[in-house]
Structure formats: C-alpha cells, structure tokens
Structure 1
Amino acid sequence: MSQPRPTVRRRRLASLLVELREAAGKTMEEAADRIGCHKTKISRIENARLGISLGELRDLLAFYGIDDASYVEELVNLARRGGERGWTRHLGATLPSYADHIDYEQTSDYIRSYQPLLIAGLAQTPDYARELYRRNPEMLSSSQVDDLVETRMQRQEILEREDAPRLTVIEGEAALRSLVGGANVMKPQLDRLAELADHPNITVQVLPLNSGAHAGLLGGFVVFGFPTPAFSDVVCVEHVTGSLHMETEEETERYTLAFDSLRSAALSPAASLDLIRRVRQEL
C-alpha cells in the first residue's frame, strides 16, 4: 500500500522548520541530538514524510531561538492539524497567506494559472501590482504596499532560474482591457505579458470575450504541480478575505480538467499574442 501524500499543512511546517534550522545555523545532527532521535527522523520531518509531536516541535523551536509566543503557537497549530486535508488562510493586515503561495511557487515545477479579470501575479509589473494593492479592502499603508510590491517582484525571479518552472497562463480578455491604473500602467503591463510569451518555459493564452459559456465562469485559480511524486498538486483560489488551498485528488483533478478545457477554448499562443499586441495598440 502506498504511503499517503503529505498534507499542505505538513508540507508548510516542514518547509518552515528547514528555514528556521538553517537560519539558526544548526545541522540535522544537532537537531536530532536536541530531541534525542536519529538524523533520519529530522530528515523525514523536514521532507514532510513524518509528523512531529508538539513537545518535539516546541523543543526544536526553542533550540532555533524562536521566542515569539504567537509564532510558536501558529506552528504548533500547524503540527496539531497536520493530518487534515485542505487549508483556508485568512488575510490580515500583513497578508500572511502570501507566504504559503510563495512556498508553492518556489517548489513547484509546473504552474497553471487562470485569471479572467487580472493579470497573473507572476506577470505583473510593479505599477500594476501597486495599483491592485492600493485598492485592497484592508486599507494598506504606503509602506505595506511597497513591501508587497517588492515581494511580488522577487517572486517573479523564479521565471529566470536555471530550473525555472513551466508556467501556463490563461488570461481572460477582460484582464487585458481593464484599465487598471489607466493606459500609462496598462501599456507596459501588456508589453510585459507579450515579452513573457517568448520565454520557452512560458505559455500565454487569452480567452476571448466571445467565448460564451466555459469552464472558468466561477473565477480564477492556480494549480501547482511538484516534481516529487509524493507531493500532490495544490489548487489555490483567492477571495476577498483570504485564500483556499485544496489538495484532495478529487478537487485537484476537477480543477485540472477545468484548466485543460479552458486551454482548448482559449486562443492559440500565437493568436493570443496578436490580441495582446492589438489591445496594446488600441491604448
């Protein structure tokens, strides 16, 4: 019998434990000595193949110098609910759910993004992103907006890596024509989208307004695929107050089928690029 795939929560906790251990300058052997186990157990915990007891977790966090009580409790809650499938994160003033989204982007090898009304995050220019954040219902401060825009630009660096993930973006034509920030913002944004379409690992398609009924009428979503067979796909759906991460086979298969259907309904990459350039010229 195959071993169950690690849940989103367990994968997130594992990723954080690696970051915290490395930031503290500790080795796996030192972490194993701290909680009285073999290095193999630490490796399995950090690869999300094994859960961790709450006592061991608290002991490791203290060993790594983590003394923020609220952060410790957040990680303890992740461990406590590590066996549960799916995950909803709510947005606060600091938009914590982006940490999860970034983690999936950084570790995936295939990203499929359907965005009917907005330019996909990995394709956004700084001015476009800034305009979106300024309209956020959380009433973000200027410094928070600047931080989020900088983070978004850093996220896009994965597209230039040697091991860059494959990215397929399906944009609704409405996203191209919506004047976010006005023509002066949209012109370079459409140029950026056209530029990305030339990357060998990136496919950009546009779903035209005259498509009629299609599989994406209920809204945008992102499907993350991972190179490790033990890790299931993760679907992310963002909404006004947070984001929902889904990982059961039934859920991810439905969204994958929806994405495949949208690819068939969308214009070809070449025709999509022509439309992007035509909308750009109209501005």
Structure 2
Amino acid sequence: MAKPQASRAMVSVGRRLKALRTAVRPRLTQGAVGDALGKSQALVSLMEMGGQLPTDHQLMTMLDLYQVPEAIRLDLLAEIREARASQTVWWEEYLSALPRSLVRLIELEDPARKVSIATGALVPWPAQTLSYMQEVDEFHVRENGVERTATQHTVRLRRQQIFFRPDSPAELDALCSEAAVRAQVGGPVVMKSQLDHLAEFMQRPNVTLRIIPFSAGAAAATQVNLNVLDYPTPNDPGVATMDTGTGVAVHEDPKEVRARRRRFDYLASKALTPDGSLELIEKLSKEL
C-alpha cells in the first residue's frame, strides 16, 4: 500500500502526466500511450488518476512520446523518486487511538507547504500548549478515556512540528476570534502561559496569526474550524478540510477548495493586523 505522503505525490504526478498527454497535438489517447508502453489503457488511466507511479523506463517512454523538455523530465523524475523514497510515517504507531478522519487529515497536512486555518473561539491548534489542550478537551476525556485523549494530545503536538522543520517548514496563516484569547481556558495561570506561548510563536518568520476583534461583528462570532492546505507542486489546487463536529470533511474538488479560500479571505479581511493582534495578546497576558 502506498504511504500517505506518496499518495499525494502520486496524484500530483498523475495530473501532470495527463496534462502533458492532452497537450500533444494531435491528441494522444490513453490507449495509444498504453500501446507505446506495451501495457493496457487501464494502466495509463490508473497512473493519471494517481493510483500508480510509472517506472523510470515507462516515464521516459511517455515523455519521449509527449516530446517533453529535459527540465520537466528531470523534475518529474525527482518527484517520483521522492514519493517512492517515503518510508514509514510517524503517526503509524498511534493509528489505533485516532479516528480515521483525523488520520486522513494528518496525511494531507504532513507534506503541505502552507496551512491556512480559521478556528473561531479556540486558539489555533498549531499554537496550543499541552495544558490548554487538556482543558479544552476535558469533555473528551469522559467520552474517549484518559489514555486515548492523551494520545491525541501527543499527536497534536507532533503535528505542530511541520512548522518547525529545519528544511522548508510549512507556512502558517491562522485566524481566530478575540474570544479565543480572552476566554480563560483552564484559569489565569494556564491561559497566561498559552498567551505567552502564542506571542512567542508569532515571532517565527513562517507564522502569521491574526485576531478577528469583537468589533468585526458576525465574523468574530462565526464558529468555524477551517483548514486550507497548499502543496509545493505547481498547479496543485490544494485541499480544504472542515471540522463537522463528528469528524473531518475533506474537499479536494477545486471549486470546493476555492469556496473555502473565499471564506477564509473574508474572515481575514475582518482581522487585526499581525502587529495589532500581537499587541492585544501581550496586553491580555499582562492583565492575568
């Protein structure tokens, strides 16, 4: 079975192969490409849907047929080899304690170049401290048990590491309501620690966090948990996810992704600047 990171790369490679084939004039059919490979049309279709990566020989045969420039050949070959090189993933050891929808979300997050998040009245998960998580999820302890909930907190902390990678850390663009930084989750001590951590986290060059003030009206009151994920591959439309309360809904259709981007952009237009947001966070911390 393909590893999660590879599956995203496979979809990307498939899209690129299809675009290269359909750009040829006169247009080549999948059947004609299959004949050139000595394989079936079904295999070509499977490759273009991201279900299977071509071998190096198959790739070069296809690119010869499509008359693709050398630079693009090398780029595609490197992308395929990177996908093949993916080995075990860190979250495999936690699978028994995680909902399937959360596993799918992690699979999509891990290779992302940029994560855009709107979290309503909660501090965005990439910036949550463990103490804050524990207080927020107090109810889930009753539902899922202490051990399972603790495992999910460990996983959330591991997920945060995509923003601290030494090579190419993911970019974060996060929004939350003023309620997220005013509510004393866990009491003054826990919340002050969370606010101080948030202020420090915002100093990272790959992090932008903005507060939607109460004065923004409905935008500040919206209870939304929205993620838009972007990837390094050119022309990848990205993925949008939303917390449904019982799981995570994943939207990969480009139209659905664009609709979520528009919602995020609308909320962002109501937010304070990053500097104004930091000033508010530091002010609230001093008051605790």
Task: Normalising by structure 1, report the TM-score.
Answer: 0.67
Q: Distance in 1 between matches of 2:49 and 2:287?
A: 50
1:245 equivalenced with 2:246 (yes/no): no
Structure 2 counterparts to residues 1-20 of structure 1, below 5 A: 14-16=2-4
Structure 2 counterparts to residues 178-217 of structure 1, below 5 A: 178-214=183-219, 217=222
Q: Distance in 2 between matches of 1:238 and 1:149?
A: 17
Distance 1:163 1:265, change over 3 A: same
In the TM superposition, residue 243 of structure 1 has moved relative to its aligned partner by: 1.3
Distance 1:137 1:234, change over 3 A: farther
In the TM superposition, residue 136 of structure 1 has moved relative to its aligned partner by: 2.1
1:148 equivalenced with 2:152 (yes/no): yes
Amino acid at match of 1:169: A
Q: Distance in 2 between matches of 1:145 and 1:204?
A: 27
Q: Distance in 2 between matches of 1:251 and 1:261?
A: 16
Q: Distance in 2 between matches of 1:215 and 1:251?
A: 23
1:133 to 130, 137, 154: 137
Secondary structure at the counterpart of residue 214 of structure 1? helix
**Residue of structure 2 in register with 1:64 after alignment:** none
Amino acid at match of 1:229: P
Further displaced range: 94-103 or 112-121 = 94-103
**Residue of structure 2 in register with 1:157 after alignment:** 161
Relative contact order (alpha carbons < 8 A, sep ≥ 6): 1 or 2 greater?
A: 1
Structure 2 counterparts to residues 1-283 of structure 1, below 5 A: 14-16=2-4, 49-50=50-51, 94-136=98-140, 139-161=143-165, 162-214=167-219, 217=222, 219-229=224-234, 231-283=236-288
Q: Distance in 2 between matches of 1:277 and 1:94?
A: 35
In the TM superposition, residue 134 of structure 1 has moved relative to its aligned partner by: 2.4
Q: Deviations over 1:102-132 (max 9, x none)?
A: 1222111010001111111111101111222
In the TM superposition, residue 138 of structure 1 has moved relative to its aligned partner by: 6.7
Secondary structure at the counterpart of residue 117 of structure 1? coil
Q: Deviations over 1:141-187 (max 9, x none)?
A: 11112211111111111111121111011111011112221222111
Task: Give the number of aligned pairs.
Answer: 211
Secondary structure at the counterpart of residue 278 of structure 2? helix
Amino acid at match of 1:269: P
Confirm or deny: 8 A CA contact 2:98 2:152 kept in the other structure: no
Confirm or deny: 8 A CA contact 1:166 1:202 kept in the other structure: yes
Give structure 2 stretches of 5+ with no counterpart.
8-38, 54-95
Structure with greater Cα Rg:
2
Distance 1:146 1:209, change over 3 A: same
Q: Distance in 2 between matches of 1:134 and 1:247?
A: 32
Q: Deviations over 1:25-65 (max 9, x none)?
A: xxxxxxxxxxxx9xxx7xx86x962369xxxxxxxxxxxxx
Confirm or deny: 8 A CA contact 2:177 2:220 kept in the other structure: no
Confirm or deny: 8 A CA contact 1:216 1:262 kept in the other structure: no
Q: Distance in 2 between matches of 1:207 and 1:126?
A: 24
Distance 1:268 1:192, change over 3 A: same
Distance 1:134 1:196, change over 3 A: same
Instruction: Give the helix-richer structure, 1 or 2.
Output: 2
In the TM superposition, residue 239 of structure 1 has moved relative to its aligned partner by: 2.5
